[in-house]
Structure 1
Amino acid sequence: MTRPGTFEIRVICAPEQAERVTAALAGTFTTGPARAYPTRERTRVRLYLTATAPAPAPALPPVVSDR
Structure 2
Amino acid sequence: MTGPGTFEIRIICAPADADRITAALAAAFTTGPVRRYPTRDHRQVRLYITATDRAPAPVLRLLRPDH
- Which 4+ runs in 1 deviate beyond 6 A? none
* Count of residue pairs the alignment pairs up: 63
1:6 deviates by: 0.4
State the match for 1:8 in structure 2.
Answer: 8
Gaps of at least 5 residues in structure 1 are none
TM-score by length of 2: 0.83
1:36 corresponds to which residue?
Answer: 36
TM-score (norm 1): 0.83
Identity within the alignment, %? 68
Take 1:2 and 1:53, find their aligned partners in 2: how far apart are those partners?
Answer: 13
> Please, what is the CA RMSD of the aligned residues?
1.6
Aligned-partner Cα distance in 2 for 1:12–1:50: 15
The secondary structure found in structure 2 opposite 1:32 is strand
Aligned position for 2:21? 21
| Unmatched runs of 5 consecutive residues or more in structure 2 | none
